[in-house]
Amino acid sequence: MPPASAATSLSASMIPTATTAIRSRTTTSSRDTTSSCRHSNISHALLVLLAVLAVLTTQPALAAAQIPLQEGTAKPIPTSPDDLKTEGSSSTTADLLIFNYSSNYFYAGCYNDTNQLPNSTGAHALSHVLVGEGYLTAAMCLEWCAHNGTASLGRPYKFAGLEYSRECYCGDDLSSLVRKLDDRACNTPCDGDNTTACGGANKLSLYNITASALRGGAGATLNAAQGQNGAVLAVIAGLTVLFGFL
């Protein structure tokens, strides 16, 4: 048996080695944890990017949609409520476009107006109206509803609609008497742009506010090129999230 002093010396000499081994295991464990967190963050970022791309690929293109209309003779624009009672089935001879380039509103469809319906008390589906005879366009109407809504409410009106080629309606409350119609029913061209649909006889080309405009007030109006730039920016944002974790 070695002397007690030798045993004590041997044990003391082993302590640094044991401490070093413990530190090594601790460092390795810390690196493993860091690596695991990094992989988790990268996986999360990839999911974010994939979600952005999925939204972009499933959203309708920012382009005017064609409305195939029946062939026939163009009907004169109604000039009085009585004209609505004898509305026929004639339509324009050319296809019309649906304007859908606004960042404040998206096209919701063609709906009936309500002022000629029983129990409507003569009220229109939307309360605020602008008449732009000879010059109204869909873009102008949406800008007007966004601007006036923001002035009074701090955000655009929730709804905007075009009727009779020259009437622009806005409001936060849409009549419960409206019903969705076929897009072909909104077959009168805008006074200021005869290629684009601006409602019909007692019918509204109706637009609904976008979620971003409802949250943050009026945004800039998009044209087709700006819409594609927005898609590119969304992809870049997703890549930024991804590489921020790398």
3-class secondary structure, 171: strand
Task: Identify the residue whose tokens are 């409305």.
Answer: 67
pLDDT at 45: 54
Q: Considering only CA atoms, which of 92, 91, 109 is closest in space to residue 100?
A: 109
**Buried/exposed 219-240: b ≥16 CB within 10 Å, e otherwise:** eeebeeeebeeebeeeeeebee
| Rounded Cα gap, residues 204 and 107, in angstroms | 11
Task: Tally the residues of the chain.
Answer: 246
Q: What is the pLDDT of residue 36?
A: 57
- DSSP E strands in the chain: the ranges are 65-67, 96-98, 105-112, 128-131, 159-163, 167-171, 180-181, 189-190, 193-197, 203-209
Residue 216 is predicted with a pLDDT of: 74
Under-70 pLDDT residues of the chain: 1-94, 217-246
